[in-house]
Amino acid sequence: MKKLLAVTFLLAVFIAASMAAEKSSLLYVSKDSIVQRIPGSDTSSFAIPNGLTAAKVIDNYIIAIGGKENIEKVIDRTTVMKSKVNNKYLTITIYQKAPDKMREIIDLGTFKQNVYFADRKGEMVVAGKTIDVKGNELEKLKYESMLHFLVSLDSLGIKLQFDGTSLVNDKEAYKVTMILPSGDKWIQYYDPQTWLKVKESKNIVVQQGTFVQNNYYSDYKDVDGIKYPFTLKQNVGPQHINFEVESIKVNTGLIDDLFIKK
């Protein structure tokens, strides 16, 4: 159980779903397609529009979920999601406030865990013990806490790489790699028809070692002009957890004290 809770604190499921972008209208790429093989792609060939880049994929995703203007209206957000693990109900509540404050509460009945990020400091409180989040994990927690992350990619030193296509649930998806300044990589997959994100993969490092966390997103619903995924399937090593979003509320006036460990 401790292993589950240790790896879950970096979940930050729907932060990426509301990241800001730099465009407010659909990008146009050439209607002429070319069949090409991209090194590292999991598929041999796929008709990729001429001129398609990683930045264009992400911009079109931002447009698909509601556009820059609606996203930037979100000053704070509260997400509540639930699952069932080993016959126990797991509730995760994520509070976020612009520009980069976050608190995540993991509640498994008799066991609770809090994660805080504010003022460039990350802390995890579990069983009355405070653990500082450091190194690359602090870097990732910082970016996951930012409500308007994508609008600052250049200033943050984050690079984008288009890696062609890969199969996600037996369907082709555009594959984009986000390279953090530390060298860590977040790999994201987008549906070519809807431009919605369908999967994200990243490494997480905990006391037990390094694990690959795969998040699968679906069931997008509109909340105040922005589409969020209401179903998340998460795989971390041998563990498989299905989450359903119970509620998403925006701009409720979250106070700064909520993000400070007492």
**In the block, residue with structure tokens 């699968």:** 216
pLDDT in tens, 42-94: 444 568 899 999 999 999 999 999 988 988 899 999 999 999 888 889 999 99
Identify the DSSP state of 51: T
- pTM comes to 0.83
Domain extents for the chain?
A: 2-27+42-159+216-259
- The ranges of the chain with pLDDT < 70 are 1-46, 151
CATH code for 2-27+42-159+216-259?
2.50.20
Q: What angle do CA 128, 132, 137 make, to 5 degrees?
A: 130
What pLDDT is attached to residue 68?
85
Structure token pair of residue 126: 């579990």
The verdict on whether omega for the bond into residue 99 sits within 30 degrees of 0, i.e. cis, is yes
